[in-house]
Amino acid sequence: MSALANRTYRRLLVAHVVALVGTGLTTVALGLLAYDLAGAGAGVVLGGVLAVKMVANVLVAPVAAAVAERVGRRALLVSTDLVRCGAALALPWVDAVWQVVALVAVLQVAAATFTPAFQAVIPRVLTDERDYTRALSLSRLAYDVEGVVSPVLAAALLTAITFSWLFVGTAAGFLVSAVLIATLTLPARADTSTSLAERTIKGIRAYRHTPRLRAQLGLNLAAAAGGAMVLVNTVVLVRGDLGMGPTAVAVALGVFAAGSMGAALALPRLLDRRPQRRVMVGAGGVLVALMVAGTAVFWTGVRWGPLLGLWLALGVAYSAVLTPVGRLIRASAHPDDLPALFAAQYALSHAEWLVTYLLAGLLGGVVGPAATLGVLALVAGAGLVFGARAWRGADSVEHVHADLPAGDPHLGDAVRCSGGWRHTHHYVIDRVHRRWPVARR
Protein backbone atom coordinates (compact mmCIF):
# COMPACT_ATOMS: atom_id res chain seq x y z
CA MET A 1 0.00 0.00 0.00
CA SER A 2 3.02 2.31 -0.23
CA ALA A 3 1.59 3.99 -3.34
CA LEU A 4 -1.33 5.27 -1.26
CA ALA A 5 1.03 7.47 0.74
CA ASN A 6 1.08 9.79 -2.28
CA ARG A 7 -1.83 12.23 -1.82
CA THR A 8 -2.29 12.93 -5.52
CA TYR A 9 -2.37 9.26 -6.45
CA ARG A 10 -4.69 8.46 -3.55
CA ARG A 11 -7.27 10.97 -4.81
CA LEU A 12 -6.86 9.79 -8.39
CA LEU A 13 -7.51 6.21 -7.28
CA VAL A 14 -10.64 7.20 -5.38
CA ALA A 15 -11.87 9.12 -8.44
CA HIS A 16 -11.15 6.07 -10.58
CA VAL A 17 -13.04 3.70 -8.29
CA VAL A 18 -16.07 5.99 -7.98
CA ALA A 19 -16.27 6.41 -11.76
CA LEU A 20 -15.91 2.65 -12.28
CA VAL A 21 -18.79 1.89 -9.92
CA GLY A 22 -20.90 4.40 -11.81
CA THR A 23 -19.96 2.77 -15.11
CA GLY A 24 -20.97 -0.61 -13.71
CA LEU A 25 -24.40 0.77 -12.78
CA THR A 26 -24.80 1.96 -16.38
CA THR A 27 -24.02 -1.53 -17.67
CA VAL A 28 -26.94 -2.94 -15.67
CA ALA A 29 -29.27 -0.04 -16.50
CA LEU A 30 -28.56 -0.17 -20.24
CA GLY A 31 -29.67 -3.79 -20.43
CA LEU A 32 -32.94 -2.91 -18.70
CA LEU A 33 -33.42 0.20 -20.85
CA ALA A 34 -32.83 -1.82 -24.03
CA TYR A 35 -35.47 -4.34 -22.97
CA ASP A 36 -37.87 -1.52 -22.11
CA LEU A 37 -37.46 0.00 -25.59
CA ALA A 38 -37.04 -3.08 -27.78
CA GLY A 39 -38.48 -6.03 -25.85
CA ALA A 40 -37.27 -9.27 -27.42
CA GLY A 41 -34.97 -7.23 -29.66
CA ALA A 42 -32.95 -6.01 -26.68
CA GLY A 43 -30.07 -8.32 -27.63
CA VAL A 44 -29.77 -6.62 -31.01
CA VAL A 45 -29.75 -3.21 -29.32
CA LEU A 46 -27.06 -4.25 -26.85
CA GLY A 47 -25.02 -5.78 -29.68
CA GLY A 48 -25.17 -2.45 -31.49
CA VAL A 49 -24.17 -0.62 -28.33
CA LEU A 50 -21.18 -2.96 -27.88
CA ALA A 51 -20.14 -2.40 -31.49
CA VAL A 52 -20.34 1.38 -31.07
CA LYS A 53 -18.26 1.19 -27.89
CA MET A 54 -15.55 -0.92 -29.51
CA VAL A 55 -15.36 1.19 -32.67
CA ALA A 56 -15.05 4.32 -30.54
CA ASN A 57 -12.29 2.70 -28.47
CA VAL A 58 -10.32 1.61 -31.53
CA LEU A 59 -10.70 4.73 -33.67
CA VAL A 60 -11.02 7.58 -31.20
CA ALA A 61 -8.31 6.94 -28.58
CA PRO A 62 -5.16 7.72 -30.68
CA VAL A 63 -6.71 10.84 -32.27
CA ALA A 64 -8.12 12.04 -28.96
CA ALA A 65 -4.74 11.60 -27.28
CA ALA A 66 -3.08 13.67 -30.02
CA VAL A 67 -5.63 16.47 -29.75
CA ALA A 68 -5.58 16.36 -25.96
CA GLU A 69 -1.85 17.14 -25.83
CA ARG A 70 -2.83 20.77 -26.41
CA VAL A 71 -5.02 20.76 -23.30
CA GLY A 72 -3.89 20.68 -19.69
CA ARG A 73 -4.23 17.18 -18.23
CA ARG A 74 -6.43 18.26 -15.33
CA ALA A 75 -8.74 20.23 -17.64
CA LEU A 76 -8.96 17.26 -19.99
CA LEU A 77 -9.84 14.73 -17.27
CA VAL A 78 -12.38 17.01 -15.60
CA SER A 79 -14.08 18.00 -18.87
CA THR A 80 -14.44 14.39 -20.07
CA ASP A 81 -15.88 13.40 -16.69
CA LEU A 82 -18.43 16.21 -17.02
CA VAL A 83 -19.33 15.12 -20.57
CA ARG A 84 -19.94 11.59 -19.31
CA CYS A 85 -22.00 12.97 -16.43
CA GLY A 86 -24.22 14.91 -18.84
CA ALA A 87 -24.69 11.93 -21.18
CA ALA A 88 -25.64 9.66 -18.27
CA LEU A 89 -28.20 12.19 -17.00
CA ALA A 90 -29.78 12.31 -20.47
CA LEU A 91 -30.25 8.53 -20.75
CA PRO A 92 -33.37 8.27 -18.53
CA TRP A 93 -35.19 10.64 -20.92
CA VAL A 94 -34.68 8.74 -24.17
CA ASP A 95 -37.59 7.13 -25.98
CA ALA A 96 -35.91 5.68 -29.07
CA VAL A 97 -33.11 3.20 -29.73
CA TRP A 98 -31.13 5.62 -31.89
CA GLN A 99 -30.97 8.04 -28.95
CA VAL A 100 -29.48 5.32 -26.75
CA VAL A 101 -26.84 4.53 -29.38
CA ALA A 102 -26.00 8.23 -29.81
CA LEU A 103 -25.60 8.85 -26.08
CA VAL A 104 -23.53 5.69 -25.62
CA ALA A 105 -21.31 6.92 -28.46
CA VAL A 106 -20.81 10.21 -26.59
CA LEU A 107 -20.05 8.31 -23.37
CA GLN A 108 -17.52 6.08 -25.07
CA VAL A 109 -15.76 8.85 -26.98
CA ALA A 110 -15.31 10.63 -23.66
CA ALA A 111 -14.11 7.39 -22.05
CA ALA A 112 -11.66 6.73 -24.90
CA THR A 113 -10.24 10.20 -24.25
CA PHE A 114 -10.27 9.99 -20.44
CA THR A 115 -8.87 6.49 -19.81
CA PRO A 116 -5.52 6.69 -21.68
CA ALA A 117 -4.90 10.19 -20.34
CA PHE A 118 -5.65 9.00 -16.80
CA GLN A 119 -3.36 5.98 -17.21
CA ALA A 120 -0.56 8.21 -18.50
CA VAL A 121 -0.78 10.54 -15.48
CA ILE A 122 -0.11 7.79 -12.91
CA PRO A 123 3.56 7.07 -13.88
CA ARG A 124 4.21 10.82 -13.84
CA VAL A 125 2.82 11.03 -10.30
CA LEU A 126 4.49 7.86 -8.99
CA THR A 127 8.05 8.04 -10.25
CA ASP A 128 9.32 5.14 -8.11
CA GLU A 129 9.08 1.83 -10.00
CA ARG A 130 8.00 -0.16 -6.93
CA ASP A 131 5.22 2.30 -6.12
CA TYR A 132 4.04 2.30 -9.72
CA THR A 133 3.94 -1.51 -9.79
CA ARG A 134 1.72 -1.45 -6.71
CA ALA A 135 -0.47 1.20 -8.32
CA LEU A 136 -1.00 -1.12 -11.30
CA SER A 137 -2.13 -3.86 -8.96
CA LEU A 138 -4.52 -1.48 -7.21
CA SER A 139 -5.96 -0.50 -10.60
CA ARG A 140 -6.50 -4.17 -11.46
CA LEU A 141 -8.22 -4.63 -8.09
CA ALA A 142 -10.43 -1.62 -8.81
CA TYR A 143 -11.63 -3.15 -12.08
CA ASP A 144 -12.29 -6.51 -10.44
CA VAL A 145 -14.09 -4.98 -7.46
CA GLU A 146 -16.24 -2.94 -9.86
CA GLY A 147 -17.22 -6.14 -11.65
CA VAL A 148 -18.47 -7.57 -8.35
CA VAL A 149 -19.74 -4.51 -6.45
CA SER A 150 -21.69 -2.72 -9.20
CA PRO A 151 -24.11 -5.57 -10.04
CA VAL A 152 -24.72 -6.21 -6.33
CA LEU A 153 -25.26 -2.50 -5.67
CA ALA A 154 -27.56 -2.25 -8.68
CA ALA A 155 -29.60 -5.22 -7.49
CA ALA A 156 -29.96 -3.67 -4.03
CA LEU A 157 -30.97 -0.27 -5.44
CA LEU A 158 -33.53 -1.80 -7.81
CA THR A 159 -35.50 -3.09 -4.84
CA ALA A 160 -36.31 0.53 -3.96
CA ILE A 161 -36.01 2.56 -7.20
CA THR A 162 -36.59 2.18 -10.94
CA PHE A 163 -33.66 1.42 -13.24
CA SER A 164 -33.65 5.00 -14.61
CA TRP A 165 -32.26 6.18 -11.27
CA LEU A 166 -29.18 4.02 -11.85
CA PHE A 167 -28.15 6.49 -14.55
CA VAL A 168 -28.34 9.23 -11.93
CA GLY A 169 -25.97 7.17 -9.77
CA THR A 170 -23.64 6.89 -12.77
CA ALA A 171 -23.73 10.66 -13.29
CA ALA A 172 -23.00 11.22 -9.59
CA GLY A 173 -19.96 8.96 -9.87
CA PHE A 174 -18.56 10.95 -12.79
CA LEU A 175 -19.30 14.24 -10.98
CA VAL A 176 -17.46 13.11 -7.84
CA SER A 177 -14.54 11.99 -10.00
CA ALA A 178 -14.43 15.42 -11.70
CA VAL A 179 -14.49 17.26 -8.36
CA LEU A 180 -11.68 15.13 -6.90
CA ILE A 181 -9.46 15.61 -9.96
CA ALA A 182 -10.18 19.35 -10.09
CA THR A 183 -8.58 19.75 -6.65
CA LEU A 184 -5.26 18.24 -7.77
CA THR A 185 -2.13 19.66 -9.34
CA LEU A 186 -1.13 17.33 -12.20
CA PRO A 187 1.98 17.25 -14.40
CA ALA A 188 2.14 19.83 -17.17
CA ARG A 189 0.97 18.98 -20.66
CA ALA A 190 3.38 17.46 -23.16
CA ASP A 191 5.34 19.23 -25.88
CA THR A 192 3.01 20.11 -28.77
CA SER A 193 5.58 21.19 -31.35
CA THR A 194 4.89 18.15 -33.57
CA SER A 195 1.97 17.98 -35.99
CA LEU A 196 -1.40 16.44 -35.18
CA ALA A 197 -0.78 13.59 -37.64
CA GLU A 198 2.61 12.83 -36.07
CA ARG A 199 1.14 12.81 -32.57
CA THR A 200 -1.72 10.56 -33.70
CA ILE A 201 0.52 7.82 -35.08
CA LYS A 202 3.30 8.19 -32.51
CA GLY A 203 1.96 5.53 -30.17
CA ILE A 204 1.06 3.11 -32.97
CA ARG A 205 4.55 3.50 -34.45
CA ALA A 206 6.15 2.79 -31.08
CA TYR A 207 4.10 -0.40 -30.77
CA ARG A 208 5.07 -1.46 -34.27
CA HIS A 209 8.80 -1.01 -33.75
CA THR A 210 9.32 -1.95 -30.06
CA PRO A 211 9.74 -5.73 -29.51
CA ARG A 212 8.44 -5.76 -25.93
CA LEU A 213 5.30 -3.82 -26.97
CA ARG A 214 4.63 -6.10 -29.94
CA ALA A 215 5.00 -9.01 -27.52
CA GLN A 216 2.49 -7.39 -25.19
CA LEU A 217 -0.08 -7.32 -27.99
CA GLY A 218 0.35 -11.07 -28.47
CA LEU A 219 0.01 -11.75 -24.76
CA ASN A 220 -2.99 -9.42 -24.54
CA LEU A 221 -4.65 -11.46 -27.30
CA ALA A 222 -4.15 -14.59 -25.20
CA ALA A 223 -5.70 -12.90 -22.15
CA ALA A 224 -8.57 -11.53 -24.25
CA ALA A 225 -9.34 -15.03 -25.58
CA GLY A 226 -9.59 -16.43 -22.07
CA GLY A 227 -11.47 -13.44 -20.70
CA ALA A 228 -13.97 -13.42 -23.57
CA MET A 229 -14.88 -17.05 -22.90
CA VAL A 230 -15.68 -16.19 -19.30
CA LEU A 231 -17.45 -12.87 -19.84
CA VAL A 232 -19.53 -13.91 -22.85
CA ASN A 233 -20.41 -17.54 -22.12
CA THR A 234 -20.71 -17.82 -18.33
CA VAL A 235 -24.41 -17.02 -18.45
CA VAL A 236 -24.94 -19.64 -21.18
CA LEU A 237 -22.99 -22.32 -19.31
CA VAL A 238 -24.65 -21.68 -15.96
CA ARG A 239 -28.23 -21.01 -17.06
CA GLY A 240 -28.36 -23.26 -20.14
CA ASP A 241 -26.03 -26.21 -19.54
CA LEU A 242 -26.34 -26.39 -15.77
CA GLY A 243 -29.90 -25.08 -15.40
CA MET A 244 -28.98 -22.84 -12.48
CA GLY A 245 -30.32 -19.40 -11.57
CA PRO A 246 -29.02 -15.81 -11.89
CA THR A 247 -27.29 -15.99 -8.51
CA ALA A 248 -25.08 -18.80 -9.78
CA VAL A 249 -24.07 -16.63 -12.74
CA ALA A 250 -22.96 -13.91 -10.34
CA VAL A 251 -21.06 -16.47 -8.24
CA ALA A 252 -19.19 -17.82 -11.28
CA LEU A 253 -18.20 -14.34 -12.45
CA GLY A 254 -17.25 -13.46 -8.89
CA VAL A 255 -14.94 -16.49 -8.69
CA PHE A 256 -13.15 -15.34 -11.87
CA ALA A 257 -12.81 -11.84 -10.37
CA ALA A 258 -11.52 -13.34 -7.10
CA GLY A 259 -8.75 -15.16 -8.97
CA SER A 260 -7.82 -11.95 -10.76
CA MET A 261 -7.77 -10.00 -7.49
CA GLY A 262 -5.61 -12.62 -5.81
CA ALA A 263 -3.05 -12.41 -8.60
CA ALA A 264 -3.07 -8.61 -8.50
CA LEU A 265 -2.29 -8.68 -4.76
CA ALA A 266 0.58 -11.15 -5.23
CA LEU A 267 2.17 -9.60 -8.33
CA PRO A 268 4.06 -6.65 -6.78
CA ARG A 269 6.29 -8.91 -4.68
CA LEU A 270 6.69 -11.37 -7.56
CA LEU A 271 7.71 -8.59 -9.97
CA ASP A 272 10.24 -7.35 -7.40
CA ARG A 273 12.02 -10.72 -7.70
CA ARG A 274 11.32 -11.93 -11.25
CA PRO A 275 11.71 -10.27 -14.67
CA GLN A 276 8.35 -9.21 -16.02
CA ARG A 277 8.93 -11.11 -19.26
CA ARG A 278 9.17 -14.36 -17.33
CA VAL A 279 6.08 -13.52 -15.30
CA MET A 280 3.90 -12.45 -18.25
CA VAL A 281 4.97 -15.16 -20.70
CA GLY A 282 4.75 -17.79 -17.97
CA ALA A 283 1.25 -16.64 -17.03
CA GLY A 284 0.29 -16.73 -20.71
CA GLY A 285 1.50 -20.33 -20.92
CA VAL A 286 -0.54 -21.26 -17.85
CA LEU A 287 -3.61 -19.58 -19.32
CA VAL A 288 -3.33 -21.52 -22.60
CA ALA A 289 -2.78 -24.80 -20.71
CA LEU A 290 -5.87 -24.13 -18.60
CA MET A 291 -7.97 -23.45 -21.70
CA VAL A 292 -6.81 -26.70 -23.30
CA ALA A 293 -7.59 -28.61 -20.10
CA GLY A 294 -10.97 -26.88 -19.89
CA THR A 295 -11.75 -27.98 -23.44
CA ALA A 296 -11.16 -31.60 -22.46
CA VAL A 297 -13.33 -31.21 -19.35
CA PHE A 298 -16.19 -29.59 -21.28
CA TRP A 299 -16.22 -32.42 -23.84
CA THR A 300 -17.47 -34.71 -21.08
CA GLY A 301 -20.07 -32.17 -19.94
CA VAL A 302 -20.18 -28.92 -17.97
CA ARG A 303 -20.12 -29.44 -14.20
CA TRP A 304 -20.38 -26.79 -11.50
CA GLY A 305 -17.29 -27.63 -9.43
CA PRO A 306 -14.82 -27.95 -12.34
CA LEU A 307 -16.27 -24.79 -13.91
CA LEU A 308 -15.60 -22.75 -10.76
CA GLY A 309 -12.10 -24.20 -10.42
CA LEU A 310 -11.30 -23.39 -14.06
CA TRP A 311 -12.71 -19.85 -13.79
CA LEU A 312 -10.68 -19.19 -10.61
CA ALA A 313 -7.43 -20.36 -12.23
CA LEU A 314 -8.16 -18.45 -15.44
CA GLY A 315 -8.69 -15.31 -13.37
CA VAL A 316 -5.24 -15.68 -11.82
CA ALA A 317 -3.48 -16.20 -15.16
CA TYR A 318 -5.51 -13.45 -16.85
CA SER A 319 -4.53 -10.85 -14.24
CA ALA A 320 -0.87 -11.92 -14.24
CA VAL A 321 -0.70 -11.26 -17.99
CA LEU A 322 -2.47 -7.89 -17.98
CA THR A 323 -1.49 -6.17 -14.72
CA PRO A 324 2.19 -5.46 -15.62
CA VAL A 325 1.33 -3.86 -19.00
CA GLY A 326 1.71 -0.36 -17.60
CA ARG A 327 5.31 -1.14 -16.62
CA LEU A 328 6.10 -2.15 -20.19
CA ILE A 329 4.63 1.05 -21.56
CA ARG A 330 6.45 3.16 -19.01
CA ALA A 331 9.73 1.48 -19.96
CA SER A 332 9.06 2.11 -23.65
CA ALA A 333 8.52 5.87 -23.75
CA HIS A 334 9.72 9.22 -22.49
CA PRO A 335 7.29 10.85 -20.03
CA ASP A 336 5.83 13.21 -22.63
CA ASP A 337 5.10 10.29 -24.98
CA LEU A 338 3.19 8.21 -22.41
CA PRO A 339 -0.30 9.50 -23.41
CA ALA A 340 0.29 8.42 -27.02
CA LEU A 341 1.42 4.93 -26.00
CA PHE A 342 -1.40 4.40 -23.53
CA ALA A 343 -3.86 5.53 -26.20
CA ALA A 344 -2.34 3.08 -28.69
CA GLN A 345 -2.57 0.27 -26.13
CA TYR A 346 -6.18 1.18 -25.38
CA ALA A 347 -7.14 1.11 -29.08
CA LEU A 348 -5.18 -1.99 -30.10
CA SER A 349 -6.23 -4.07 -27.09
CA HIS A 350 -9.89 -3.22 -27.66
CA ALA A 351 -9.57 -4.33 -31.27
CA GLU A 352 -8.36 -7.70 -29.97
CA TRP A 353 -11.20 -7.85 -27.45
CA LEU A 354 -13.71 -7.14 -30.23
CA VAL A 355 -12.44 -10.13 -32.22
CA THR A 356 -12.47 -12.49 -29.25
CA TYR A 357 -15.90 -11.27 -28.07
CA LEU A 358 -17.32 -12.03 -31.52
CA LEU A 359 -15.67 -15.45 -31.62
CA ALA A 360 -16.88 -16.37 -28.14
CA GLY A 361 -20.42 -15.21 -28.86
CA LEU A 362 -20.87 -16.62 -32.34
CA LEU A 363 -19.20 -19.97 -31.71
CA GLY A 364 -20.85 -20.45 -28.35
CA GLY A 365 -24.28 -20.52 -29.91
CA VAL A 366 -23.30 -22.83 -32.79
CA VAL A 367 -20.68 -25.41 -31.81
CA GLY A 368 -21.05 -25.62 -28.02
CA PRO A 369 -18.79 -24.70 -25.09
CA ALA A 370 -16.05 -27.30 -25.61
CA ALA A 371 -15.38 -26.44 -29.25
CA THR A 372 -15.67 -22.70 -28.49
CA LEU A 373 -13.08 -22.94 -25.73
CA GLY A 374 -10.89 -25.06 -28.02
CA VAL A 375 -10.92 -22.43 -30.77
CA LEU A 376 -10.21 -19.66 -28.28
CA ALA A 377 -7.35 -21.76 -26.86
CA LEU A 378 -5.85 -21.85 -30.36
CA VAL A 379 -6.17 -18.07 -30.59
CA ALA A 380 -4.56 -17.69 -27.16
CA GLY A 381 -1.78 -20.09 -28.12
CA ALA A 382 -1.03 -18.08 -31.28
CA GLY A 383 -0.85 -14.89 -29.21
CA LEU A 384 1.45 -16.56 -26.69
CA VAL A 385 3.83 -17.86 -29.36
CA PHE A 386 3.95 -14.47 -31.05
CA GLY A 387 4.59 -12.72 -27.74
CA ALA A 388 7.34 -15.10 -26.64
CA ARG A 389 9.12 -14.83 -30.00
CA ALA A 390 8.81 -11.04 -30.28
CA TRP A 391 10.07 -10.32 -26.75
CA ARG A 392 13.75 -11.09 -27.16
CA GLY A 393 16.94 -9.17 -26.57
CA ALA A 394 17.97 -6.62 -23.96
CA ASP A 395 16.32 -3.26 -23.35
CA SER A 396 19.70 -1.50 -23.55
CA VAL A 397 20.90 -1.67 -27.14
CA GLU A 398 24.14 -0.64 -28.83
CA HIS A 399 23.41 1.38 -31.97
CA VAL A 400 24.85 3.94 -34.35
CA HIS A 401 23.52 7.39 -35.27
CA ALA A 402 24.51 8.32 -38.80
CA ASP A 403 22.22 11.34 -39.21
CA LEU A 404 22.75 13.43 -36.06
CA PRO A 405 25.14 16.41 -35.97
CA ALA A 406 28.12 16.25 -33.63
CA GLY A 407 26.66 18.79 -31.23
CA ASP A 408 23.30 17.05 -30.71
CA PRO A 409 22.60 16.69 -26.94
CA HIS A 410 21.70 13.02 -27.41
CA LEU A 411 25.29 12.20 -28.39
CA GLY A 412 26.82 13.23 -25.07
CA ASP A 413 28.21 9.74 -24.30
CA ALA A 414 28.66 8.53 -27.90
CA VAL A 415 31.98 7.75 -29.58
CA ARG A 416 32.99 8.27 -33.18
CA CYS A 417 32.88 5.24 -35.48
CA SER A 418 33.03 4.59 -39.21
CA GLY A 419 29.25 4.88 -39.60
CA GLY A 420 28.63 7.87 -37.33
CA TRP A 421 28.27 7.91 -33.54
CA ARG A 422 27.94 4.72 -31.44
CA HIS A 423 26.61 4.36 -27.91
CA THR A 424 24.47 2.08 -25.73
CA HIS A 425 21.45 3.01 -23.63
CA HIS A 426 17.88 1.98 -22.74
CA TYR A 427 16.20 2.11 -26.13
CA VAL A 428 12.81 3.68 -26.89
CA ILE A 429 11.22 4.83 -30.13
CA ASP A 430 11.36 8.65 -30.33
CA ARG A 431 12.53 11.49 -32.58
CA VAL A 432 16.08 10.17 -32.90
CA HIS A 433 15.25 6.44 -32.76
CA ARG A 434 12.72 5.74 -35.50
CA ARG A 435 13.36 2.00 -35.79
CA TRP A 436 14.62 -0.76 -33.53
CA PRO A 437 18.26 -1.47 -34.44
CA VAL A 438 19.07 -4.77 -36.12
CA ALA A 439 20.86 -7.12 -33.72
CA ARG A 440 24.58 -7.39 -34.42
CA ARG A 441 25.86 -10.89 -35.06
Q: What is the DSSP string of 254-268?
A: HHHHHHHHHHHHHHH
Domain span at residue 31 reads: 1-189
Residue 219 lies in a domain: yes
pLDDT at residue 99 greater than cutoff 90: no
Separation between Cα atoms, residue 362 and residue 421, nearest integer Å = 55
Residues 364 and 426 in one domain: no
Residue 106 lies in a domain: yes
In total, how many domains does the chain have? 3
The region of weakest confidence among 34-38, 54-58, 182-186 is 34-38
> Per-residue confidence at 75, pLDDT binned at 50, 70, 90?
confident
For 365, phi and psi rounded to 5 degrees?
Answer: -85, -5
Contacts of 366 (CB under 8 A, 6+ apart): none
Residue 195 lies in a domain: no
pLDDT tens across 119-160, in order?
A: 888 888 888 888 888 888 888 888 777 766 776 677 677 778
DSSP state of 331: T
Mean pLDDT in residue range 87-93: 90
First to last CA, the chain: 45
pLDDT at residue 441 greater than cutoff 50: no
Which pTM value belongs to this model? 0.81
Separation between Cα atoms, residue 220 and residue 238, nearest integer Å = 26
Separation between Cα atoms, residue 208 and residue 105, nearest integer Å = 28
Residues 109 and 223 in one domain: no
How far is Cα of residue 247 from the mean position of the Cα atoms in its chain? 27
Residues 79 and 227 in one domain: no
Q: What is the pLDDT of residue 188?
A: 64
Average pLDDT, the chain: 83
Residue 259 lies in a domain: yes
Q: What is the pLDDT of residue 35?
A: 67
Residue 236 lies in a domain: yes
Residue 196 lies in a domain: no
Residues 255 and 106 in one domain: no
pLDDT at residue 338 greater than cutoff 90: no
Q: What is the pLDDT of residue 48?
A: 66
Residues 248 and 212 in one domain: yes
pLDDT tens across 224-234, in order?
A: 999 989 887 88
> Per-residue confidence at 193, pLDDT binned at 50, 70, 90?
low
Residue percentage of the chain with pLDDT more than 90 = 23
Q: What CATH number corresponds to the domain at position 155?
A: 1.20.1250.20
- Strands laid side by side in the 420-426 sheet: 396-401, 420-426, 415-417
> Per-residue confidence at 195, pLDDT binned at 50, 70, 90?
low
